[in-house]
A and B are shown apart, each in its own frame.
Chain A
Amino acid sequence: AQRVTQPEKLLSVFKGAPVELKCNYSYSGSPELFWYVQYSRQRLQLLLRHISRESIKGFTADLNKGETSFHLKKPFAQEEDSAMYYCALKPQGAQKLVFGQGTRLTINP
């Protein structure tokens, strides 16, 4: 079975500090991995996909197949990064996403 684990329910860092949101997955095949974000009073939306290897709003995430991880990183946190972040996995050939439990990130001024 597929599983996505985000070990931190809450994460609080100061503005300007680096931030890392952890995501580990359990899946035997080749997954597609995503980070979704939900800002206050906004809809859940896609932040980035591992297949794109892009940086969005200063965030990057690298798929580490050896450690089965897809951690989200940003070198200098900003107050507007405060939100709920979900890591999600799409199993190969499946038509669904499996979400982690979510991490609420708070950036302190």
Chain B
Amino acid sequence: NAGVTQTPKFQVLKTGQSMTLQCAQDMNHEYMSWYRQDPGMGLRLIHYSVGAGITDQGEVPNGYNVSRSTTEDFPLRLLSAAPSQTSVYFCASTPSWGSSYNEQFFGPGTRLTVL
């Protein structure tokens, strides 16, 4: 299994541009989420999904959209990039929060810079 994969690894955008960060998992996990990692602020939840067709907002959803058309994929869209969205983005998945295991498996991250 490849686990959780993210593309691209690095991206530089100009203010106002849009783009999609890709995330895929091959573990048949129900739950997927997107975090951003900023120095001194830890990981903050952007959006999450509890299954195909179901998404919900996390702590910092503004400026981002998500969709979950398949179990495997959970893309994150930046509608109009702003310098404040410069960050490292992590995608994560977990089998189900209903289990006692509750471990999240993380992707390698995408480092995004908005100029």
Contact = CB atoms under 8 A, between A and B. Distances in A.
Contacts of A44: 43, 90, 92, 106
B48 A86 contact: no
A95 B90 CA distance: 17
A86 B35 CA distance: 13
A74 interface: no
B40 A101 contact: yes
A79 interface: no
B15 interface: no
Given A9-B40, A101-B40, A101-B41, A95 B106 contact: no
B53 interface: no
Contact of A99 (B31, B43, B102, B109): B43
A96 B45 contact: yes
Interface string A45-83: 110010100000000000000000000000000000000
A99 B100 contact: no
A88 B6 CA distance: 22
Contacts of B33: 96
A96 B40 CA distance: 20
Nearest to A100: B42
Nearest to A93: B97
A96 B42 contact: no
B75 interface: no
Contact of B106 (A9, A32, A45): A45
A101 to B, nearest CB: 4
B107 A46 contact: no
A99 B42 contact: yes
A22 interface: no
5 contacts: A43-B109, A49-B102, A94-B97, A95-B48, A96-B58
Given A32-B102, A43-B107, A95-B50, 16 more contacts: A9-B40, A34-B102, A36-B104, A43-B109, A45-B106, A49-B102, A51-B100, A86-B42, A94-B97, A97-B104, A98-B45, A99-B42, A99-B43, A100-B42, A101-B40, A102-B43
